[in-house]
A and B are shown apart, each in its own frame.
Chain A
Amino acid sequence: MRIRPRGSSPRVEADLTPMIDMTFQLIAFFMLVINFSEVEQDQRVQLPASELAKPPAAPYEQPFTIHLTRSEHYIFAGSELTELAQLRSALLREAQIIKRHTSKQLADVTIIIRGDKNAPTGQVQEIIQICQALEFEKFALRGKQSDVPTLSPIP
């Protein structure tokens, strides 16, 4: 029996160039769109749409974000609260920290309210009221940006 010498067997080499090209393209894409900033979006809240909702010109300085979900619960600092009193005590704690440990005025702290589009307006007003009682004054009602007019008569 004759054994074919190993060295002379033809080497099969796949052409890797197109795959590497594509992979680098993908990496470049994901690198560009990655966002390391802390996004305070929450899937439990569906924001109302508005064509005038504009992103803030400058980022707020240490804002507080309060979410109001469709099931009428509050989300503040990562925890879901069912009662307004719980939200109040959580906000009071934060307000005291600001008062004692920083030189900031509570009136300059922005409260971002992310209310679900189907939540009752009265609940948003309640949030504003308890914030006012704690001396917060600046509020930002968050909405989803819309490219189509939301007010025009339906065509």
Chain B
Amino acid sequence: MKFRNTEHRETIVLQMTPMIDIVFQLLVFFVFTFKIVLPEGDFDIRMPPASASQASPPSENPLLMVRLQADDRGELAGVWLNDSVLDPPAPFYQLQAQIRGLIDDAGGPGATDQEVEIEADYNLRYRYAIQAITAISGYVDSDGKQHSLVERVRFAPLIEK
């Protein structure tokens, strides 16, 4: 019996070049369209015009007023909850603690119809306003779980500069 000489068997060469071309094209496309999206979140506030808000039924709880005062450079100068001043080192932390004391958050989110109005100076930097809204609207406990406090937050009508 005669065996075919294995040395002369044809080797099949896979053409890699077109595939690599396309793969690089794809790679370049995805690299250029790549955009880093930072995680963002919202604070939802519903602020009907002044005339409509007067018509809404009054809440059982008295309106809480948070006053934010700014210095000349727009930095935070003082925080008041109703008429009591909150101490400077961490006023928003105290604000959160006081609001937690006022509102029994055991009832779960949305259990309160308490409303908070924020009155801020015109030139106050916006990050302090967001900190105040954070302090009012909820807190994160040690387990990393979010609890909400007051959901009805609004801004006081703007005072002339």
Contacts and interface: CB of A to CB of B under 8 A. Distances in A.
A151 B158 CA distance: 25
Interface in B1-41: 16, 19-20, 23-24, 26-27, 30-31, 33-35, 37-41
Q: Which size bracket describes the interface of A in this complex?
A: 35 or more
B48 A107 contact: yes
B69 to A, nearest CB: 11
B124 A122 contact: yes
A128 interface: yes
A118 B20 contact: no
Contacts of B137: 52
Interface string B116-138: 00001111111111110111011
The prevalent SS among residues of B at the interface is mixed
Interface residues of B, number: 57
A155 to B, nearest CB: 11
Contacts of A24: 23
Given A48-B127, A52-B138, A152-B90, A41 B40 contact: yes
11 contacts: A41-B40, A54-B146, A56-B44, A68-B126, A117-B130, A125-B120, A132-B47, A140-B45, A145-B39, A150-B134, A151-B96
